[in-house]
Amino acid sequence: MAAVKTLSIDGRLINARGDQTILEAAKEAGIAIPTLCHLEGVSDVGACRMCLVEVGDPPRLMPACTTQVFEEMKVQTSTERLRNFRRMIVELLFAERNHVCAVCVANGNCELQNLAERAGMDHVRFDYLYPKLPVDISHERFGIDHNRCILCTRCVRVCDQIEGAHTWDVAHRGVNARVITDMHQPWGTSPTCTSCGKCMQACPTGAIFAQRSTVAEMERNRSMLTFLINAREKKQWNI
Amino acid sequence: MEHLKLATMWLAGCSGCHMSFLDLDEFLIDLAGMIDIVYTPLIDAKVFPERVDVTLLEGAVANQDHLEFVRMVRARTTILVSFGDCAVTGNVTAMRNPLGGAEVVLRRSYIDSGDAGAQFPSSPGVLPQLLDRVVPIHHVVPVDVYIPGCPPPASRIRAVLEQLIGQHPAQLAGTDLKFG
C-alpha cells in the first residue's frame, strides 16, 4: 500500500494514495476533470491533453491522467488559461479531420461532440485541413472511418489490454498518424481480430462503428468492458 | 422605438435552417411586432438594404456569388449571425473539399457520371463559378454570433433573436452549442 499523500485540488485539501494519479484523486474527491482518451480499465497515455491541469506555482501544465500525486502538490483544474486551452484542443481536433456531426452515426452519442459543448465551442477558429482519408468496411460487422478518428488510441489499448489480441496499432507520425489493423491491411483480412467489438464500444466518436447503423443511431454499451474489468480486478463476476 | 431590421439569406445549404426558423410557430406573430424583415428569400425583396441591424446567414460559402454576397452583407450589417452548421463549420456542403478543387468535383459530377455528350456546365454571368474550397462564413468575413445545429432547433433561434431584440450581446451556451 503506497503512503498517503496530502495535496490540494482547486484549494481543497485532499488525501490520496501515493500511487494514484491526479485524475483518480480528483475523481474520488468529486472534482470533475474533462477527459477524452482516458478509459476506465485500460492504461492512460495522455494522448489528447484534455485533462491538462496546472501544478505548482508558477503553474506547470500536466496531464491529470498520467501525473502521480505527491506531498503538498497544488493543483488547479479549471483556471481561465486551462479553459482556453481545452477549447483550443477541441477546435484543433475538429479542424484536423472531417467531422460532420450532422451525418455521423455517433451524433448525440459522441464524446467529442459533448466536449465541444462543454468547452463552449461555438465555432472553430482554425483553418480546416480537409485531409482525404479512407473508410474501411472490409470487416463483416464493423467499419472504421478515419475521417472521424481523433487518435485517442482507446481501440489500441482496449484490444491489447482487455481482449489480448493487439489487432490495432498506430502507424506513421504526426498529422499522418493512423490507427491500423495488423500489418496495415484491410480490417476484414486481419488474422488476429476476434470480432469482439471492444474497440467499437471504446471509441469516443463515430470512427469505429457497427455496420448498418445510420445517422445518430449508434449508442455504445460499455457494460461489457466494465464487467470484464470488475471481474479481473475486483473478482466480481456478477453484473 | 424603431424596430430591429432583420435580414436572412441562404448560401450553400439546404434551407433547412430557414424551415426551422418558420418552426418558431406562434412566436413568429410576436416577432412580427418587434422586428422589420427587410430582406429574405421568404419575401419578395430584390435588393439588400444599405443598413441592416441583424442578418442571419444560412449555408457555407461555395461559389463566387456567395463570396461577393457575404462581403456586401458584412459591409451593410451591424450584427452578422452564422446561422446553422453549414455557415458555422461548412458541414455537409464542405464534404467535397477532401476530393480536391472545383474542377475535380465538377468532373466527377458532370463528366464521370454523365451520359454521352457529358460536358462541364458553363454559362458565364448566369452560373456562378464554384470555389475550390467550401468555407464557413467566418473564414471570409468577421462573424458576430454563431448558431450551431443542423438545423438549429427553433428554441435556439428564438433565444438568439430575443437576446438581440433586447439589445443584449447574443451568446449561446450549454446544450445550445450542440453541432449536428
- The residue among A36 and B171 whose pLDDT is bigger is A36
User: What nine digits make up the cell of A98?
Assistant: 472531417
- Domain map (residue ranges) of chain A: 4-78, 85-234
Confidence check: pLDDT of B1 > 70: no
Ramachandran region of residue A195, left (φ > 0), alpha (ψ -120 to 50) or beta?
left
pLDDT at A221: 86
User: Has residue A238 got a pLDDT over 80?
Assistant: no
In chain A, residues with a C-beta closer than 8 Å to the C-beta of B98 are 98, 130-133, 147
Let me know: does A99 contact A205? Beta carbons within 8 Å: yes
CATH class of A85-234: alpha beta
Task: Calculate what percentage of chain B has a pLDDT beyond 70.
Answer: 99
* Gap from B135 CA to chain A (nearest CA, Å): 9
Residue A92, chain B, CB below 8 Å: the answer is no
- CATH assignment of the domain containing B26: 3.40.50.700
Residues of B in contact with A130 (CB under 8 A): 94, 97-98, 133
Chain A residues 215-234 with CB within 8 Å of chain B: 216
Query: CB-hemisphere CA count at 13 Å for B159?
Result: 18
Can you give the pLDDT at residue B44?
86
Q: How confident is the model at residue A225 (pLDDT cuts 50, 70, 90)?
A: confident
DSSP type of residue A192: S
Q: Residue B106: inside a domain, yes or no?
A: no
Is A109 an 8 Å CB contact of chain B? no
Residue type, position A222, single letter: R
Burial of B26-48, coded b for 16+ CB within 10 Å and e otherwise, reads eeeeebeeebebbbbeeeeeeeb
Tell me which of A107, A122, A133 to substitute to probe the interface with B (most B C-beta atoms closer than 10 Å).
Answer: A122
Pairwise CA distance, residues A150 & A112, whole Å = 9
CB contact under 8 A, A130 and B97: yes
Residue of A nearest to B137 (CA): A123
How many CB atoms neighbour CB A82 within 10 A?
Answer: 19
**Interchain proximity B177–A120, CB inside 8 Å:** yes
Q: Could you tell me which residue, A69 or A220, shows the higher pLDDT?
A: A69
Please name the residue of chain A whose CA is at the shortest distance from the CA of residue B88.
A123
pLDDT tens-place string over residues A8-51: 999 999 999 999 999 999 999 999 999 999 999 999 999 999 99
Taking residues A124-134, what's their average pLDDT?
97
Domain coverage including residue B163: 4-98+131-177
Residue carrying C-alpha cell 456531426: A101
Q: Do B172 and A122 touch (CB under 8 A)?
A: yes
The string of pLDDT tens digits covering residues B65-79 is: 999 999 999 999 999
Which of the 8 DSSP states describes residue B53?
E
A121 inside 8 A of chain B by CB: yes
Least confident interval from A174-188, B93-107, B116-130: B116-130
**pLDDT above 70 for A239:** no
Which residues, 6+ apart, have CB-to-CB distance to A11 below 8 Å? Answer: none
Partners of residue A108 in chain B, C-beta under 8 Å: 180
Q: Would you say residue B3 has pLDDT above 70?
A: yes
- pTM over the 0.90 mark: yes
Q: Residue B167: inside a domain, yes or no?
A: yes
In the stretch 87-146 of chain B, residues with CB closer than 8 A to chain A read: 88-92, 94-95, 97-99, 133, 136, 138-139, 143, 146
Give the whole-angstrom CA distance, residue A193 versus residue A181: 8
Model confidence at A84: pLDDT above 80 = yes
Residue B170 has what pLDDT? 87
Nearest CA in chain B to A102: B180
Share of chain B above pLDDT 90, in %: 87
pLDDT for A235 equals 86
Average pLDDT over residues A63-72: 97
pLDDT of residue A199: 96
- pLDDT at residue A2 above 80? no
Distance of residue A205 Cα from the nearest chain B Cα, in angstroms: 13
Question: Is B111 contained in some domain?
Answer: no
C-alpha to C-alpha distance for A170 and A179, rounded to whole angstroms? 4
Residue A1, pLDDT above cutoff 70: no
Residues A139-157, mean pLDDT to the nearest whole number: 97
Answer whether residue B39 shows pLDDT above 80.
yes
A88 pLDDT above the threshold of 70: yes
How many domains does chain B divide into? 1
Q: Does domain A4-78 have CATH number 3.10.20.740?
A: yes
Q: How close A99 comes to chain B (CA, Å)?
A: 8
Closest by Cβ to A102, choosing from B91, B133, B138: B91
Q: Closest CB to B89: pick one of A103, A124, A133.
A: A124
Name the residue type at position B154: A
Q: Please check whether residue B67 lies inside any domain of the structure.
A: yes
Percent of chain A residues topping a pLDDT of 90? 87
- Element counts in chain B: helices (H) and strands (E): 6, 7
* In the predicted structure, residue B167 carries a pLDDT above the cut 90: no
